[in-house]
Structures are given as structure tokens and as C-alpha cells.
Amino acid sequence: MVSRILVPMDDSEHAGQALKYAFDNFPDVDVSVLHVVGVPSPMMGEAAALALADDIEEATAERAEPVFDRAREIANERDREIDTIVDIGHPARCIIDRAESYDTVVLGAHGADWSRATRQFLVGNIAETVSKRASVPVVLVR
């Protein structure tokens, strides 16, 4: 029986669709939204900026807030509540680590709107990695 779902979100359309899918298909479960900051980039931009911040927790919260605001809007439209979690690091690794505490992961099939070649080169396909390595079932949403 599914009682807790993890929905990793970035600022992509697919991530929003994944949260809507979770609410629509699992009406009586607790939903946690995870946003991972510090994503690798060609010049380590976001990760380097976080490392240089005076207060890393505050900086990560600031970067996650637009994603969480969007998640709260989707939840409010469906008269639901969410818990929010922010992690720092590689998205696939963070999702896989967190998944152990949940019954299911509902994940957008594609993340942020990077070019496919850039996404594959820098971070691999997050959805593919999570679906292969997570210890719980993973639902991919397009």
C-alpha cells in the first residue's frame, strides 16, 4: 500500500506534471516535494555560488523557493498539502538516497530545459538513473 510519495521537482513543465499526476492518482497519500540545488554545470556555477555563500542553508532555501511556490500552487488547486525538502548535490543521487524513506517516487520524464546532449554529458539522464537504481517503484510522467 502506498502512503508516502516523493516528487522531485525542478522548474520544468514535466516536474509540474509529475506533481499533478501524484495528486490525481494517489488521492490519500502524503506527498513530499524534493528540490535539489547545486546541480553540476560547465563552470560549476550554482555549486560554486553555494560554496561561496555566507549561509549555505539560506542560499539553498532561496534557490528552492520558486520551485516550492509552484508546487504549493499546484497543491492548492487540488486542495492538498505538501511537505518540502531541499537537498544539495547531484539530483539523481539525492533522489535515490531519499527514495528509501518513501513508497514510490513520481518523477518527470525530463528535467530542466537543457539541451539533451548537455544534460546527458553533465548529469546523465536523471529519470533513467533513478528508475534503474531506486529501491522503490518509480513512476515517470511525461
The CA distance from 102 to 56, in Å, is 26
| Torsion angles phi and psi, residue 141, rounded to 5 | -115, 135
Nearest to 64 by CA among 91, 83, 36, 90: 36
Burial (CB count <10 Å: 0-12, 13-18, 19+), residue 128:
middle
Average pLDDT over residues 13-39: 93
Domain 4-141: which CATH number of 3.40.50.620, 1.10.287.3510, 3.90.1010.10, 3.30.1960.10:
3.40.50.620
Dump pLDDT digits (tens) for 65-121: 999 999 999 999 999 999 999 998 889 999 999 999 999 999 998 755 544 454 444
Residues 6+ apart with CB under 8 A from 12: 108, 110, 111, 112, 113
Dump pLDDT digits (tens) for 53-75: 567 678 778 889 999 999 999 99
Q: Which one has a higher pLDDT value, 31 or 37?
A: 31
pLDDT value for 124: 46
